[in-house]
Structure 1
Amino acid sequence: MNTLMMRPYLGKSDIKAIADLVNTCDPVGQLDKDKSVADLEMEIEQPFFEPKKDVRLWEDNSGNLMGFGHISRPQAKEAIDGYLYFYVHPRAHQESLEAEIIRWSERRMRQLQKEKHLPVNLRSSSRDDLRDRCSLLEEHNFKVDRSFFTMSRRLDEEISTPQLPEGFSLRPLAGETEIKAWVDCFNQSFIDHWNHHELTLTTAKFWFNDAQYRPDLNLVIVAPNGTIAGFSYASIYPEQNNRLGTKEGWINWLGTSRNFRKMGLGKAVLLGSMQAFKTAGMDTVKLAVDADSLTGATRLYESVGFKPVQTWLSYVKPVIS
């Protein structure tokens, strides 16, 4: 039997091998889109993340990467949520490697519990049709606490013109000078959403400094008093589209500040994003939405032609010392 050795993340030199592993694992992997080198570098090198502690790699005797796990941790004040992402090469599925990665993640979360003196939860997710992965998480005492839809909409169908209340305008974010106002709108949009973690100015600047960031796809609705009332932060992933022969765009985040709800702003900025993707040459737009959202987000997306194409299950496990 090939012995697998665990080692820490050594830096950006590991990114290419990790991206290759993640894409090899699809469709048994966790995500419904490929991961490029740029995507993974953004995830692993994000602010407040400690890759030397929160990433582990498993290699065979020949140095081939067989498994990868990392824990993403938003900043927390009351409890720490660690989001476990893990991938195992198809050739290593019989090595109980998935279970070893989960055990490593639990040990890491216990360390954080001792360091921060806060309750900790380990989280992971799976498409609902990946029964082996769901069963693995359930065998390790993870419980489903939420479900999400991936929704899709073709752009060759008619897109309505955005309608705004008098005095409101729709445009791309102006730049560095508006980032703080954008972060405020983001947090006001999601403050009452399930499992919200406050976005920091540091993280937002990190996102907007990404080489793949498209200012023309980061749209905002500005109120008559100059306040950012709503936004849609969207992306195109060229490496993924080239690899799969697709022309897809993704709406990463869309929200309306709770002081400006029930005014049609969410629909307006959504339609604006769809038009921006069409102008950029995309033929499909996708997004993820909380299936149990109290704001009626799913109904909003369905009203402009989005349809669910996948269901995702969010799993959680309290970690006790």
Structure 2
Amino acid sequence: MSFRAFAGPSDFEAMVACANASFAADQTGFFRTVEEVARDYASFTDCVPQRDVWIAQAGTEIAGYVRAWHWAQADGLQLYGQFGVVAPRWRRRGIGASLHAWLESRQREMAAAHRSAPMHAHHAFVTQGESARAALLEKSGYRPERYFFTMVRPTLDDVADFAMPPGLEARPVQPEHFRPIWDAHQRAFRTHWGFSPSVEADFRRWQSSQVFQPHLWQVAWDIRAGEVAGQVRTYIDETWNTANGLRRGWTEFISVGEPWRGRGLARALISSSLRAQRAAGMQESGLGVDSQNLNGANRIYEECGFIAVKRNCVFRKPLALSEAD
């Protein structure tokens, strides 16, 4: 076993094999392709793979790897995110602990470059099923910070027809709508837990991402004000469906602007989204939601037929810099 830095696109095939083996062992449902990973690595803005990825090499096989990146919340908290996988046949040999030790060391270097930030913390999103990873984090001093549910509507039959509130109308998405749709979603999430302001690079990257499927989106406009009132940016992940043997669409990126809340707009847009997914050949739908959402999202989704099937967790650990860092 040896440890090394990311060598470039030649690593993608072995990295994907390692990640997919880990995902399958933990029953996360995730599945990646070389093409998807190549696209993601080409668009990173707060991660330089050559210095922020560390690989455990076993002969011609990648046994595990980690990746670090950083971003800032609106309240100034500087966060250092992490992705980590170890293929199941290489587990319980200390590889995960070695990779994690390198990752935290690298994140301390990142934090030293952002010393002026008022607070720093390691941040890890752990999907239900990743029990070994959760145990490693807790042993390293991480604690659960927030829980998120994966919810599923197991059928797209009998979708309720919630009416669009007066004064609002749904419009087919045109290219000139992309910016107002993006900006409206950012405004709607300003008060949500963990909100991080976007930058122009995020807007550009969004338009080349696999979730950018405007033909499926449901967007409501305020007729008088000419503003985006709410949206559901539906998408279909064919790679995920093939890997999991399902026909699932995703009712995601749901937001309603503050002036239009409490009028049933979210339900109207969700019901339209579900019908669009069924028309596209889907048989069920999924979404993710903050378990402590302050706007009653969980209740709305339940009323629309979704049930919680997984509880995922954000772990965090304070990162305190010393004068030596």
| Counterpart amino acid of residue 315 in structure 2 | Y
Cα separation, 2, equivalents of 1:207 and 1:100:
34
- Give runs of aligned pairs for residues 206-217 of structure 1, distance below 5 A: 206-210=205-209, 213-217=212-216
Q: TM-score, normalised to structure 2's length?
A: 0.89
Aligned to 1:178: 177
Provide the residue aligned with 2:219 in structure 1. Answer: 220
- The yes-or-no answer on 1:198 pairing with 2:197 is yes
Q: Distance in 2 between matches of 1:12 and 1:169?
A: 46
Q: 1:101 is matched with which residue?
A: 99
Deviation at 1:250, TM superposition (A): 1.8
Aligned twin of 1:154? 154
Structure 1: which 5+ runs fail to align? none
Residue 304 of structure 2 is matched in structure 1 by 304
Q: Is the 8 A contact 1:109 1:120 kept in 2?
A: no
Shift of 1:132: 2.8
Q: 1-side partners of 2:179 and 2:156: how far apart? A: 35
Residue 33 of structure 1: CA displacement?
Answer: 2.4
Aligned counterparts, 1:259-274, within 5 A: 259-274=259-274
Of 30, 35, 38, the match for 1:33: 30
Q: Aligned with 1:16: secondary structure?
A: helix
Contact 2:57 2:64 in 1 (8 A): yes
Q: Write out per-residue CA displacement over residues 37-79 of structure 1, whole angstroms, 9 at most, x where no aligned residue.
A: 344344433342322232222211x221111211243355623
Cα offset for 1:207?
1.7
The 5 Å alignment of 1:36-55 reads 36-49=33-46, 50-55=48-53
Mean Cα deviation higher: 163-172 or 311-320: 163-172
Assess, with a 3 A threshold, how the Cα gap between structure 1 residues 23 and 249 changes in structure 2: closer, same or farther. Answer: same
Q: Which residue of 2 aligns with 1:167?
A: 167
Q: TM-score, normalised by structure 1?
A: 0.90
- 2:121–2:317 CA contact under 8 A, matched in 1: yes
Task: Judge which range, 23-32 or 263-272, deviates more.
Answer: 23-32
Task: State the secondary structure of the residue aligned to 1:25.
Answer: helix
Deviations 1:147-170 (A, max 9, x none): 111000033421122411223112
**How far 1:246 sits from its partner (Å)?**
1.3
Q: Does 1:293 align with 2:299?
A: no
- Pair 1:11 & 2:8 matched: yes
Higher mean C-alpha deviation, range 227-236 or range 288-297: 227-236
Indicate whether 1:64 and 2:94 are aligned: no
Is contact 2:219-2:232 (8 Å) kept? yes
How far did 1:194 drift? 0.6
Deviation, structure 1 residue 6: 2.2
User: RMSD over aligned Cα, in angstroms?
Assistant: 2.1
- 8 Å Cα contact 1:153/1:286 also seen in 2: yes
Larger CA deviation: 139-148 vs 242-251: 242-251
Contact persistence 2:155–2:283 (CA under 8 A): yes
Identical aligned pairs, as a percentage?
23
Q: Distance in 2 between matches of 1:182 and 1:201?
A: 14
Matched, 1:136 2:136: yes
1:16, distance to aligned residue in structure 2 (A): 2.8
For residues 110-133 of structure 1, what are the alpha-carbon distances to aligned partners after superposition, in whole Å with 9 as ceiling and x for unaligned?
111211222321111324454333
1:74 correspondence with 2:96: no
SS of equivalent to 1:210: coil
